[in-house]
Structure 1
């Protein structure tokens, strides 16, 4: 019996060592770019910050945009979009931005609300044709509750996602996947299903495919000509890869993702740094910009915007959204008080809070004396 246990132990050790060798051969070393040796001005300091961040946070590629007083002040890309082919990250590289997608879904909903005459307090069900109403699981949940994640709906747990959910389902199936049990209304439960239901409601109110509605009503209006909510992933002509840290080694390996729904109003936007910079100019102008009416429609009694996240960085209040999915992570933020906005797009899973750390240093460089 002891001999069997001993041989079993040897076998486990052998397979573990084999796994480590396999992981090493399938992964890549840190990305290292030469930072500016003695940065003299703000642009050089920013260049040095982002170049150093690639190695420090195990990031293959990074695209950064900064807008100040309504103008693009800084827009650059660093590293690689694909470590296998060594394709460089470019300003026109198409990269998934995960939950930043929610901002554009919210803006499209607002535009429809303005034109169709419904408000934040309208129940989602009223966007459906009369013959499709009375969905018991929806109850009287309002658009505001979905936009602020206070509907009581929760995303399925890890076990369900791994073993009982298919990927790439059509958006139309979301109505059949509403959780039967809801948490307390007005309590915060961040869940993608809230925005997927909003996207489904938009399709019903304006009987056209969601991706067409978003493209014409919001993306093109924002000048985002090379962005869309994708219907399939990966794209055959897009070499970009998401990455994550290996199990043991301080190395990077590719990480494939598939969207749960297609298109995905909550996380399906694929865009470029060039496009997102234009959108940042529009949204950074707030109610003085091209989305004035939509932002007014989304404004809650508290003064905050429904569908947007509100957070503090470098001691200042910012509006925008974090995004993270599998091997991609992003941050889109702007401050009306500082008249400044920025975004970070990376093809790396955020395992060490690199978005916030890079953002804090970025803001410290821009505003050394807050």
Structure 2
């Protein structure tokens, strides 16, 4: 008689077999989600470390600056106890004297003066010179400090110190909006001749729009040729489109300087051809014209490639069918072909515009004073060590781009982007 052998089955398997199908499916989906999360976790960490955290630090830096608050604890306490006083009393000057001594001991006068100098130019030397003589200050402190320099009686200095007594401040955004605090602490527009940032902000978006439109006008026929030419000719044209990517941005920009300058190649050719006179050479460099020409050349491939990626998958049979039904060439293009290219056009416009808004090397080299963009001011403040002002300007630029991105999403839809 044959023996019957029983195989042991784990209890977990028996339990799972007895579970309803819905629960087993839910557990399988949860396991798949965990596996998918683990697969993208390295990319998520990379994006967080290289993108999210730097932007967060930039936004924090635009609102936080402890250069003065850390150096003037006594004044910070006096301002908190006297929030409405604009003109300081003897106690306020006594707190200032104590902080000047502290600044001298800790070598903080330069940092404190630099922070106030952002709001009231010329304040840094005021703090450094007063800190050097802080040990000689005696009561009455008001007379002693005013004896050092009458500028200490300027209400703008005290308004600026009140705002800087807290490390969290909106001063850098106010400066970016061409707004300042008056002698009574109220907000007011800066002098008309000193308004720089808002005009440059608008100019940057306007020039970026002009560059984007020119790129679109030039890129559309190029992309159409790429999509309709025979393979051999299309590949040759694609090489010419991609050729700028094989050359350094700095080399391309300096090459344009050689071509566009007053004694450059283009002007010399025009003079030789008799089109212009020797004294009528065109000003094509160190102005907005130079910025537009060079940036169009640099950004044109970023417009061609998204449009081409859409055009190459449009079936030619659509156009033939429209013509067979009596549509003219213009009607076929307007109602059949062009609407199908809109996702590529939208992607190219968005890509070129965002790149144009953030460019600073090209405008710095070929734009001169007239062709500078908003990003050049950011770079200027970064090199001058006013990182908080640079962060505020960068946050404004980021906000403008995000608004345009949101408008694009509402009007066309991000899901319709065709980047390749």
Same fold (TM over 0.5): no
**Counting helix residues as a fraction of each chain, which structure ranks higher?**
2
Give the TM-score normalised by the residue count of structure 1: 0.27
**Structure in which a larger fraction of residues adopt strand:** 1
Larger Rg: 2
**Higher RCO, 1 vs 2 (CA within 8 Å, ≥6 residues apart):** 1
The two structures have a TM-score, normalised by structure 2, of 0.25
